Structure 1
Amino acid sequence: MKTADPELMRAINRFHVLDVIRRSGLISRVEIGERTELSTTTISAITASLLDDELISTHHEGDLRNNSRGRPRVMLRLNPDAARIVGAKLATNRLSFAVTNFQGDPVAELTLPVRVDRLPSDVIVDLVEDGVRRCVLNAGLTLSEIKTIALALPGVIEHATGKVRSSPLFRDADVPLKSAIEARLGIDALVESDANAITIAQHWFGQARDCDDFVLVSIEEDLGLGVMHAGQLFRGARELSLALGNMMMGSDPSTSERLSHIASERSILDANHPDPRLREAIRLGHGMSQMRRLIEEGDTELRAAASRAGKALGLAIANLVCLFAPPRVILVGGGLVLEDHLLDPLRTALSQSLPPALESVLNLVVDDVGDALWARGAAAVALSELYGAPWGTTGPAYAGAQTIRHALNGRSPSNADRQVR
């Protein structure tokens, strides 16, 4: 049986040590060993290397003059200035950016209200480039101080290559977004689905900081799915993102519908609705808010559309619970602006569809987060890769980053995976 590569194991251990330090804020080497179950020798070697690379720093608790037990306690914490990341969320009607430090704290944030969907891909890249440059300038930094640019957008994303297989933002399929951004800015870039980005954000900063196993459903232009297992994000073959909207609803292929045709923002909103206020709101990217107002004014057709979407989502989430039995399901996205018009039928359908054995397992969390957290989540995706990458005088080495991710997920990269890298 093939033994593990020592360099790979060191990278995995380094990732876990840095992640524990990030979560704790301030922690001793003994406590790191308790939480990671790594040996004292391994912890000492890793932390010494991290100190040499200036990724962490020491903090002394207590004073020798006032401490009868001996020397002050040496605590460790991340060096927030070790790296800066730009995270961005691309949506149909806005671009949101965040510059973060090494522990994911926002240094500067920027939102550009611009209609993105269906523009030529090179124009979208232009807008992203301008937004990155402006946000970096607002942070008081230069591009040379940025390690990585991380982009999150709806659709099916091939994270391994940075290719956008399909997205409501692009006219074309298989857009090489990663290489396009790198060519413009000369900085390493990665591309992720917005659902995966907000899943990481929830785990790092949000409603799942205490939970390493959960499922996230994003209700936006598309319906996205993020699955976190044992603290690691799950991706499909070739590191493809998961698209909940592609789930088929029904028992007969000839009459079944994709979930996205029932419950995504695009499907719920009626661009041909007779009320001109809704048509104008859709054009300006505020369709869901206007839809809620019209429902509250008594529009029965829109109420029925929201209810149908909620019921379909409830059924889909029930299927996810049956597959994964997650202790927590988190709902996010612009669709939540419909509030109980969507959520009441969703909860009813979910309750009616769950088998009795799983009724006590689920904790459904509704979190209407702002754009800034999505962009910050994109930055966190990049940071999680930096934590596992070897560092040196020239910064992080990315060559082994994907292999590390595969190992953390309990599998080895296939030959097909290697061929696309």
Structure 2
Amino acid sequence: MKTADPELMRAMNRLSVLDTIRRRGPISRVEISERTELSTTTVSAITGSLLDDGLILTRHEGDIRNEAVRGRPRVMLEVNPDAARVVGAKIAASRMVFVVTNFRGDVLSKLTLPIRIDRQPIAVIADLVEDGVRRCVVDAGLSLEDVDSVCLGLPGVIEHRTGHVRSSPIFREINIDFATEMSTRLSTPTIVESDAHAITLGHHWFGKARDLQDMVLISLEQTLGLGVLHGNRLFRGAGGLSHNLGDLVLGTGPQGMVRLSSQAGESAILGEQQADGRFAEAVRLGRGMTHVQALIQADDDRLIAAAVRAGEAVGLTIANIVTLFAPPRVILVGSSLALGEPFLNSLRDAYALAIPPSLKGVSELVFDDSTDDFWAQGAAAVALYELYESPWSTTGPAL
């Protein structure tokens, strides 16, 4: 029987301890041992190394100079917020949002650039992203030399390990090595990640899945994305691939395969309305769904029918995902939630009909109107997670 790789086990234990301190700190070594199920000897060795590297700090509870307090003060541990800084970004067709965070994930600065970048040449998009990163870093009172990592969250199918964007509605081209392009421009290690994965980790670190080790997130934006968290880790495909949920096949029809995007994608919902002058302008500015919401509230029959159809398709998809993974929580985010009650009621009804009786009540559905800043903070969490996993020395992360 093959034994586990000792180096891998040490790295996993180190990550578990550091993440526990981030989540629960200030926390004692005994409590860390209880939560991680590691021995007190192992925890002491790991925390000693983390203290040497400056990644965590000690805090003393109690005061030996106070006669009313008996016994030695408790030594508590917490993450050192100044150990590293990262940049996270949400790159969408009509806007870019950047945040700078410290090692704990606290936002130090944020910047929104409402500029349409989709279908621009790669060099132009890279210029705009570089400018946004640099401006946000300056706003935080820092320089790029102070930044340890950058993570750019993009829609589409992305290889996390290589930074290749296989396809994205933002790019004209396919198979773009965007991570290398931006790493060279910024002279800073740059990660390119699926925006759905970024918002999933954002909810796990800061949002509505902080209490969970396993969950599923579905993003309903210009593209339909999927994030699966298992054992506190994002599940990725071969090569670290993200998942384009819009490509999921729902069945067959006269025109061939019926995919989720053809029923619930933004273009499918907007339909012929996109050719309308005012509507087309709203879509171009990234406000198509907001415009749809107003028309639905004004009882536009065609858009109400489109919202109902989309809700039914998403509800069936969620039921299939729950059948596969049985997560305790499914979080839905994205602009399509603006479709309102016709969409949400149809989704709930379809889900209730499709979910197997044995799984009823297993998964909680949570609808979350996450801000763009939060999506960018999720991208920062991806960068931080990479740093948390990295071997460190007293001079910084060994990336």
TM category, shorter: over 0.9
Quote the residue 1:40 is aligned against: 40
- State the superposition RMSD in angstroms: 1.4
Quote the residue 2:60 is aligned against: 60
What runs of 5+ residues in structure 2 fail to find an aligned partner? none
For residues 355-376 of structure 1, give each alpha carbon's deviation from its aligned partner in whole angstroms, at most 9, with x where no partner exists: 1111111210000010001110
Matches within 5 A, 1:405-416: none
Structure 2 distance, partners of 1:393, 1:16, is 20
Matches within 5 A, 1:30-109: 30-64=30-64, 65-66=66-67, 69-109=70-110
Q: Give the aligned residue type for 1:115.
A: R
Deviation at 1:242, TM superposition (A): 1.4
Deviation at 1:267, TM superposition (A): 2.3
Q: Give the aligned residue type for 1:307.
A: V
Quote the residue 1:243 is aligned against: 244
For residues 13-35 of structure 1, give each alpha carbon's deviation from its aligned partner in whole angstroms, at most 9, with x where no partner exists: 11000100010121000000000
Quote the residue 1:361 is aligned against: 362
Matches within 5 A, 1:21-420: 21-64=21-64, 65-66=66-67, 69-251=70-252, 255-270=256-271, 272-273=273-274, 275-398=276-399
Structure 2 distance, partners of 1:100, 1:274, is 41
Q: Give the aligned residue type for 2:46.
A: I
Q: Do 1:271 and 1:279's aligned partners in 2 also have CA atoms closer than 8 Å? A: no
Structure 2 distance, partners of 1:349, 1:281, is 30
Structure 1 distance, partners of 2:59, 2:275, is 64
**Greater CA drift, 3-12 or 308-317:** 3-12
Residues 41 and 256 (structure 1), Cα distance of their counterparts in 2 relative to 1, 3 Å cut: same
What runs of 5+ residues in structure 1 fail to find an aligned partner? 399-421
Structure 1 distance, partners of 2:272, 2:16, is 48
Residues 171 and 27 (structure 1), Cα distance of their counterparts in 2 relative to 1, 3 Å cut: same
Deviation at 1:163, TM superposition (A): 0.5
Quote the residue 1:402 is aligned against: none
SS where residue 393 of structure 2 aligns? coil
**Greater CA drift, 113-122 or 266-275:** 266-275
Deviation at 1:249, TM superposition (A): 1.1
Structure 1 distance, partners of 2:357, 2:68, is 57
SS where residue 291 of structure 2 aligns? helix
Q: Give the aligned residue type for 2:14.
A: R
Q: Do 2:264 and 2:310's aligned partners in 1 also have CA atoms closer than 8 Å? A: yes
Structure 1 distance, partners of 2:363, 2:49, is 42
Q: Give the aligned residue type for 1:45.
A: A
Deviation at 1:63, TM superposition (A): 1.2
**Greater CA drift, 216-225 or 246-255:** 246-255
Identity across matched positions, percent: 60
Q: Give the aligned residue type for 2:366.
A: V
Structure 2 distance, partners of 1:285, 1:145, is 33
**Greater CA drift, 62-71 or 312-321:** 62-71
Deviation at 1:275, TM superposition (A): 4.4
Residues 178 and 227 (structure 1), Cα distance of their counterparts in 2 relative to 1, 3 Å cut: same
Structure 2 distance, partners of 1:221, 1:254, is 23
Residues 381 and 273 (structure 1), Cα distance of their counterparts in 2 relative to 1, 3 Å cut: closer
Q: Do 2:54 and 2:394's aligned partners in 1 also have CA atoms closer than 8 Å? A: no
Residues 184 and 271 (structure 1), Cα distance of their counterparts in 2 relative to 1, 3 Å cut: farther
Deviation at 1:69, TM superposition (A): 4.0
Q: Give the aligned residue type for 1:51.
A: L
Residues 2 and 67 (structure 1), Cα distance of their counterparts in 2 relative to 1, 3 Å cut: farther
SS where residue 381 of structure 1 aligns? helix
Quote the residue 2:2 is aligned against: 2
Deviation at 1:7, TM superposition (A): 2.3
**Greater CA drift, 194-203 or 255-264:** 255-264
SS where residue 228 of structure 2 aligns? strand
Residues 90 and 313 (structure 1), Cα distance of their counterparts in 2 relative to 1, 3 Å cut: same
For residues 204-244 of structure 1, give each alpha carbon's deviation from its aligned partner in whole angstroms, at most 9, with x where no partner exists: 11011111111100000100000011111100111101111
Deviation at 1:327, TM superposition (A): 1.0
Deviation at 1:41, TM superposition (A): 1.2
For residues 365-413 of structure 1, give each alpha carbon's deviation from its aligned partner in whole angstroms, at most 9, with x where no partner exists: 0000100011100110111111121111442123xxxxxxxxxxxxxxx
Give the aligned length: 398
Q: Do 2:252 and 2:258's aligned partners in 1 also have CA atoms closer than 8 Å? A: no
Q: Structure 1 runs of 4+ off > 6 angstroms? A: none
Q: Do 1:271 and 1:282's aligned partners in 2 also have CA atoms closer than 8 Å? A: no
Quote the residue 2:18 is aligned against: 18
Deviation at 1:5, TM superposition (A): 2.8
Deviation at 1:8, TM superposition (A): 2.0
TM-score, length-scaled by structure 1 = 0.92
**Greater CA drift, 67-76 or 95-104:** 67-76
Structure 1 distance, partners of 2:309, 2:69, is 69
SS where residue 216 of structure 1 aligns? strand
Deviation at 1:252, TM superposition (A): 6.0
